[in-house]
Amino acid sequence: MSSYTFNRRHFLKGTAASLALGTLEMQALAFPAAQKTYRVGLIGTGWYGKSDLFRLIQVAPVDVVALCDVDRNMLKEAGAMVSTRQKSGKVPRLYPDYRKMLSENELDIVLIGTPDHWHALQAIEALKAGAHVYVQKPISVDVIEGEAMVAAARKYKRVVQVGTQRKSTPHLIDAKKNIVDAGLLGKVSHVEMCCYYHMRANGNPPEEPVPDFLDYELWTGPAPLRPYDGIPHRRWWRTFMEYGNGITGDMCVHMLDTVRWMLDLGWPKRVSASGGIYVQKDGKSNIADTQTAIFEYDELNCIWNHRTWGTPADPEYPWSFKLYGEKGTLSGSTMQYDFVPHGKEGTPIHKDVVYEKEKYPEDLSEPDIELNAAPATRLHMLDFLQAIEKNTRPVADIEEGHISTASCILANLSMETGRPLVYNPEKRIVENDPEATRLLRRTYRERWKHPEPETV
């Protein structure tokens, strides 16, 4: 996934960033370090689960007491890695089943880094167990799961931070404050968002026996049980709608969430989408390789495009958002932003991503780390801790994560049904569309019970 994971070339470029490190340090001052040592558990010890945990270890006094994964090999490896990163040097307790982990440990914080189809059940159980939760995006695979997660967070009075860390990305914080909020764009009445990474895994591996170190039944959980055709971790599961919501659910959720934050937008009035598998037809993948979605607001359309083939419309912004205002245009991504004023008045402004290699040199040797995202995730963790200590809502509160996630799910449902959808979050229905309303809740596999907002 070389086009998705930023490498050291980007890192070296970023060390000369025009946005000074001092900006990041000033942001950190707004989120003072935790006053207590939190007992932490991680469910899902793969790529981003470990990455989130290591960022938390870097910024707060925590005791990682438990790890959970259905892959015994990956779990053991993660335990050894954590022992080298936390001050105590101890290996956490290792669990193959998250339910046992939650029942045997009193945890203050649970991080969830499992595939999307597990987020809702695990987050809700962690909240019931009394923990605050950091859950990766998208928060759910269907809309009603998300509603149940919001209801559980409020019922159990716990903080839930969603891993939409663009809201804690230093150069994008700067863009919101000094470009958008300062009025340099004027009225914004058109937004474009996109992802043109070639990140759609698409092959035809043969079926094979499940290895003895993997509990494939539990890995699948409430999702449909596909024939086993190799380790599903990292990229392979993302290529199937059984476990997620495709590129729109994976990548649009970040950009839509960022745009909503920058422009103070809530639920879209209407969502429509079209697309499908237009080019990459030769593999098992069933997620769309081409899609356009429109999220409608008052006098504003936010348009999403993705292609997992061909070239990006703007090579400098292959995964990005662009806000078009009457006074200028703001382009933003995880790597940079550019403001271009309209006409002869005004000055173009460019800012680059911030890195912290001097302060956190261990980042350079961490396998698979997204170096450009590490500072943002650290600030996101500090904001999470501040919300816990002050009993306030974090910057990426579960309700905001739900709106962004559900909007992307609605785009997929619009593509599936072939018509625009108007979601009513109060009634939890699609207006005047019983068929689409039924699609708001996926069918769970036998043995697993779908969470409901009223009964969490």
Q: How much helix, strand and coil, in percent to the nearest 5, is found in the chain? A: 35, 20, 45
% of the chain with per-residue pLDDT over 90: 90
CA 243 – CA 223 distance, rounded (Å) = 6
Is it the case that residue 2 has pLDDT exceeding 50?
no
Residues 411, 413, 416: CA angle, nearest 5 degrees: 115
What's the pLDDT at 163? 98
What's the pLDDT at 346? 86
- For the residues of 112-153, what is the DSSP string, one character each? E-S-GGGHHHHHHHHHHTT-EEEEPSS--SSHHHHHHHHHHH
Kind plus residue range of the DSSP H or E element containing 40: strand 38-43
Cis? peptide before 138, omega within 30° of 0: yes
Strands (E) across 59-218 are located at: 62-68, 93-95, 109-112, 132-135, 160-162, 188-195
In a 3-state reduction of DSSP, which class is residue 181? coil
Is it the case that residue 3 has pLDDT exceeding 90?
no
- The mean pLDDT value for 269-283 works out to 98
Burial zone of 251 (CB within 10 Å; 0-12 exposed, 13-18 middle, 19+ buried): buried
- 293-321, pLDDT tens digit by residue? 999 999 999 999 999 999 999 999 999 99
What's the pLDDT at 360? 95
Query: For 35-92, where are the alpha helices, taking DSSP H only?
Result: 47-59, 72-85
Is it the case that residue 145 has pLDDT exceeding 70?
yes
Is it the case that residue 34 has pLDDT exceeding 70?
no
What's the pLDDT at 343? 85
Residue 67 phi, psi (nearest 5): -130, 150
**Amino acid sitting at position 254:** H
Residue 33 pLDDT grade (very low, low, confident, very high; cuts 50, 70, 90): low
Residue 236 phi, psi (nearest 5): -65, -40
Structure tokens at 445: 């596999």
Residue 32 pLDDT grade (very low, low, confident, very high; cuts 50, 70, 90): low
CA 75 – CA 133 distance, rounded (Å) = 20
CA 429 – CA 409 distance, rounded (Å) = 14
What's the pLDDT at 12? 35
| 8-166+386-394 and 169-203+218-356+399-438 share one fold | no
- 354-411, pLDDT tens digit by residue? 999 899 999 999 999 999 999 999 999 999 999 999 999 999 999 999 999 999 999 9
Contact 405, 137 (CB under 8 A): yes
CA 198 – CA 319 distance, rounded (Å) = 11
List the beta bridge partners of residue 340: 329
Burial zone of 227 (CB within 10 Å; 0-12 exposed, 13-18 middle, 19+ buried): exposed
Residues 6 or more apart in contact with residue 73 via CB below 8 angstroms: 213
- 407-424, pLDDT tens digit by residue? 999 999 999 999 999 999
Contact 34, 58 (CB under 8 A): no
Class of domain 8-166+386-394 (CATH, top level): alpha beta
> Can you give the residue ranges of every domain in the chain?
8-166+386-394, 169-203+218-356+399-438
- The mean pLDDT value for 430-436 works out to 98
Residues 6 or more apart in contact with residue 228 via CB below 8 angstroms: 207, 208, 209, 210, 216
CA 370 – CA 375 distance, rounded (Å) = 10
What's the pLDDT at 22? 47
Residue 345 pLDDT grade (very low, low, confident, very high; cuts 50, 70, 90): confident
Is it the case that residue 5 has pLDDT exceeding 50?
no
* CATH node for 169-203+218-356+399-438: 3.30.360.10
- 52-108, pLDDT tens digit by residue? 999 999 999 999 999 999 999 999 999 999 999 999 999 999 999 999 999 999 999
Residues 6 or more apart in contact with residue 79 via CB below 8 angstroms: 67, 91, 92, 94
Burial string for 78-107 (b: 16+ CB within 10 Å, else e) reads bbebbeeebeeeebbbbbbebeebbeebeb
